[in-house]
């Protein structure tokens, strides 16, 4: 089966450019025919497996971004290769993706002063990538901050492609100087669920939390032990009607999102402000996407003939965006 290209609807594009939130619960990488590998030649048809022992490619799509996969050999060019299922019965909604994300990489840590990295993401119908099509790229990377592309295709930032039936994909990393093999915590080839509204107010869009344990001595001294710090908490609420702004249906969107994160039991990518928090005015890359878990319940109480009340709590999963630099 050959991959096919489509385009996000004008309604979804308009909502995104108006800075409405989006959720990405699916990941095509989670349906492998062959477990992902770091490959020396950027191809399944040549070269060899360069995946480091104990850092298998399955870590790239296990929904645990703190658990990284990495290669073995130092150099200036690295490939993480995917071989994915394409049949609708197997992959469901994940068969179409329009968003790509790379979480918890360490390129900035590995680069020296004045050195940079570039990352591109390609798909192909062939295992040797002779027909490679670039869906995302970013140059001049100098930090460990995550990479999230919400407009796929070339030229970057203007095409809003959707891709269906892609079997082969690869992440290509090139660096201006030789570095140790990089690590990646999660790669997402996801389908977005786009809201037409921002959250109801009051809404705290700067809510953080830390987890600590306090020990109180009999003398009154308090010792505080940190488990983690800097995680974001989102508590959005919406009043969807089923016929919402931009011609979108937020009731259906919320139901589909909830179903595709396994009814709230699995983490997903939440981008609260995709447009205003994009990296620059000239790119479709944002660093401000959060990997979160939702309270596992969907309640949309009818409060009128068409109006519903929907409220949620999303807790960020470590490693937290606030700790990336």
pLDDT of residue 211: 92
Burial class (CB in 10 A: 0-12, 13-18, 19+), 107: buried
pLDDT band per the 50, 70, 90 thresholds, residue 291: very high
For residue 282, is pLDDT > 90? no
Before 319, cis peptide (omega within 30)? yes
- pLDDT tens-digit series, residues 70-106: 999 999 999 999 999 999 889 999 999 999 999 999 9
Burial class (CB in 10 A: 0-12, 13-18, 19+), 223: exposed
The sign of the CA dihedral 84, 85, 91, 94 is positive
For residue 157, is pLDDT > 90? no
pLDDT band per the 50, 70, 90 thresholds, residue 304: confident
Q: 117, 172 in Cβ contact below 8 A?
A: no
Average of per-residue pLDDT values in the chain: 95
- pLDDT tens-digit series, residues 47-80: 999 999 999 999 999 999 999 999 999 999 999 9
- Considering the chain, what percentage of its residues have pLDDT values greater than 70? 99
- pLDDT tens-digit series, residues 10-20: 999 999 999 99
- pLDDT tens-digit series, residues 161-187: 999 999 999 999 999 999 999 999 999
Distance CA 159, CA 314 (A): 30
pLDDT of residue 284: 87
pLDDT of residue 28: 98
pLDDT of residue 84: 97
**Considering the domain 4-194, what is its CATH architecture?**
Sandwich (2.60)
Residue 183, CA distances (Å) to 34, 38, 107, 276 in order: 20, 10, 8, 29
pLDDT of residue 325: 81
The secondary element (H helix, E strand) that includes residue 286 is strand 285-286
Q: Where in the chain is the domain with CATH 2.60.120.260?
A: 4-194
Helix, strand, coil percentages in the chain from 3-state DSSP, rounded to 5: 15, 40, 45
- pLDDT tens-digit series, residues 206-220: 999 999 999 999 999
Of the two residues 124 and 307, the one the predictor is more confident about is 124
Structure tokens at 105: 């990489």
For residue 306, is pLDDT > 90? no
Q: 152, 98 in Cβ contact below 8 A?
A: yes
- pLDDT tens-digit series, residues 253-268: 999 999 999 999 999 9
pLDDT of residue 55: 98
């Amino acid at each position: 089966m050959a991959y096919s290209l489509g385009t996000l609807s004008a309604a979804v594009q308009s909502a995104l450019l108006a800075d409405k939130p989006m959720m990405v619960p699916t990941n095509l990488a989670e349906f492998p025919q062959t477990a992902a590998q770091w490959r020396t030649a950027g191809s399944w048809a040549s070269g060899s497996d360069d995946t480091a022992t104990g850092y298998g490619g399955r870590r790239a799509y296990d929904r645990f971004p703190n658990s990284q996969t990495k290669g073995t050999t130092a150099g200036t060019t690295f490939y993480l290769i995917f071989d994915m299922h394409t049949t609708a019965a197997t992959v469901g909604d994940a068969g179409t993706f329009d968003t790509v994300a790379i979480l918890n990489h360490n390129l900035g840590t590995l680069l020296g002063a004045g050195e940079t990295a570039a990352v591109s993401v390609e798909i192909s119908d062939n295992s040797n990538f002779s027909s490679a099509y670039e869906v995302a790229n970013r140059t001049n990377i100098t930090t460990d901050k995550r990479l999230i592309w919400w407009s796929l295709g070339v030229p970057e930032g203007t095409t809003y492609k959707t891709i269906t039936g892609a079997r082969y994909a690869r992440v290509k990393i090139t660096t201006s100087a030789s570095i140790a093999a990089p690590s990646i915590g999660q790669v997402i080839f996801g389908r977005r669920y786009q809201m037409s509204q921002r959250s109801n107010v009051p809404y705290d869009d700067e809510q953080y939390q830390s987890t600590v344990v306090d020990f109180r001595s009999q003398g009154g001294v308090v010792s505080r032990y940190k488990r983690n710090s800097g995680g974001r908490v989102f508590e959005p609420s919406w009043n969807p009607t089923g016929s919402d702004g931009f011609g979108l249906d937020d009731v259906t969107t919320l139901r589909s999102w909830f179903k595709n994160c396994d009814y709230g039991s699995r983490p997903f990518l939440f981008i609260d402000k995709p447009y205003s928090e994009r990296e620059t005015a000239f790119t479709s890359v944002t660093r401000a996407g959060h990997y979160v878990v939702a309270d596992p319940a969907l309640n949309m109480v009818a409060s009128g003939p068409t109006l519903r009340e929907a409220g949620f709590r999303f807790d960020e999963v470590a490693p937290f965006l606030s700790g990336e630099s």
